[in-house]
Amino acid sequence: MLHLVKLNRYSKFFPQKLALFRTFAFKSTSQPHSSVEKQIEIETIIKIVNDHPFPDHPLHPTLLQNIPQSVLSPLLVKNVLGRLFAAHSNGLKAFEFFKFSLQHSHFCPSLDAFEKTLHILARMRYFDKAWELMEEIQ
């Protein structure tokens, strides 16, 4: 896992190889995760979301390609959204990540994840998207 941290420094030089490595790193961790491994997964997902050229290209296929469903959990989704919120990331990207977690997880995201997504959208004045999310969740 330490190699993944070092490899992130070189991601701008080898983006295709890094994507393959990320997929392999997620798939190869079938045993219980340590807190360091969970933190690396969170950082990796945040980097995928933040570096993506959304809305010019859809974010969903990239998330599907790089994040296995087995990795998604309510806690992971909540932590990723919390970090996106703290970093003042693009609200629409956070919204897309939350929708991805709704569609491709066997868990329901937590109420905290829902509230964080709403807060991110409202803070960035995407009120129409916030209403869309509330209607979808009902």
Q: Check whether 10 has a pLDDT greater than 70.
A: no
Q: What is the value of pTM for the model shown?
A: 0.72
User: What's the pLDDT score for residue 4?
Assistant: 42
Q: Are 98 and 77 in contact (CB under 8 A)?
A: yes
Q: Look up residue 69 and give its two tokens.
A: 């469903």
Write down the H helix ranges in the chain: 2-8, 15-27, 35-51, 60-66, 74-86, 91-104, 111-123, 127-137
The string of pLDDT tens digits covering residues 66-123 is 988 888 899 999 999 999 999 888 899 999 999 999 988 787 888 999 999 999 999 9
Model confidence band, residue 11 (pLDDT cutoffs 50, 70, 90): very low
Q: Which residue has the tokens 């933190």?
A: 39
pLDDT of residue 32: 52
What is the per-residue pLDDT across 43-59, written as a single tens digit (0 to 9) for each? 999 999 999 998 899 99
Domain boundaries, given as residue ranges, for the chain:
71-138
